[in-house]
């Protein structure tokens, strides 16, 4: 291994040490609460460390084909220590500000969506539903008005025809079959069904 490769390895591992500090702080901020630990959180810990180990090995493999030396671990430790000493507070403050900005932006976009899209669409749908109900109500009222308009003269004609029939024939019809009552009951029955 040449000195250049060793130098690149050292630089890469110091950078990965800094990255490890950043990843640990980010992970602990989002997914690692201090209380109520469960199996799920322990599983997350295992996955997190596996991912970090694979990432570090991938970078090492790209720099020096995966050759492990003592100074690799030393460089990782130096990078992590440099992050803790120099950048941790700055990064945590920046992360909190970014979280506040993202949450504020989310609430702004959500409020914008509710006031500019959701509420107008809901209002338009309510107006359209009210108009449809009004049109249906007016249509039903007009329909029943037309039915009554035609039914009253038809009823009078039937009554007139009934009265023109001789009394003896009417009594005979009533006695033999009760046809008039059946027709009347049948018509009233269907009219009540139509009104429902």
| Domain end (from 70, 95, 124) | 124
* CB-based contact 13:79 (threshold 8 Å): yes
| Domain end (from 73, 99, 124) | 124
The tally of domains found in the chain comes to: 2
Give the domain extent around 54: 3-124
**Structure confidence at residue 7 as a pLDDT band (50, 70, 90):** confident
User: Tell me: the pLDDT tens digits for 103-124?
Assistant: 999 999 999 999 999 999 999 9
What pLDDT sits at residue 45? 82
Confirm whether 177 is domain-assigned.
yes
What pLDDT sits at residue 134? 92
**Domain identity same for 120 and 171:** no
Confirm whether 41 is domain-assigned.
yes
Nearest CA among 135, 140, 132, 136 for reference residue 196 = 140
> Is this prediction's pTM over 0.85?
no
Instruction: Measure the CA–CA gap between 174 and 180, rounded to whole angstroms.
Output: 7
**Domain identity same for 32 and 120:** yes
**Domain identity same for 39 and 95:** yes
| Domain end (from 124, 157, 177) | 124
> Is 63 exposed, middle or buried (CB count within 10 Å of its CB: 0-12, 13-18, 19+)?
buried
Q: What token pair was written down for 14?
A: 């110091």
Average pLDDT of 144-149? 84
């Amino acid at each position: 291994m040449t000195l250049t490769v060793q130098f690149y390895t050292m630089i890469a591992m110091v950078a990965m040490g800094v990255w490890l500090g950043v990843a640990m702080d980010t992970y602990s901020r989002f997914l690692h609460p201090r209380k109520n630990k469960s199996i799920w959180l322990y599983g997350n810990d295992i996955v997190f460390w596996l991912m970090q180990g694979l990432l570090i090995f991938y970078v090492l493999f790209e720099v020096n084909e995966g050759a492990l030396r003592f100074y690799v671990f030393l460089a990782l430790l130096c990078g992590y220590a440099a992050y803790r000493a120099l950048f941790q507070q700055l990064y945590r403050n920046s992360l909190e500000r970014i979280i506040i900005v993202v949450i504020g932006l989310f609430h702004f976009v959500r409020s914008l969506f509710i006031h500019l899209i959701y509420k107008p669409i809901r209002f338009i749908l309510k107006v359209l539903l009210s108009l449809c109900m009004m049109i249906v109500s007016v249509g039903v009222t007009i329909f029943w008005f037309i039915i009554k308009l035609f039914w009253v003269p038809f009823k009078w004609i039937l009554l007139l025809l009934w009265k023109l029939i001789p009394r003896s024939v009417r009594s005979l019809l009533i006695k033999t079959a009760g046809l008039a009552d059946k027709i009347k009951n049948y018509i009233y029955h269907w009219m009540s069904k139509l009104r429902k």
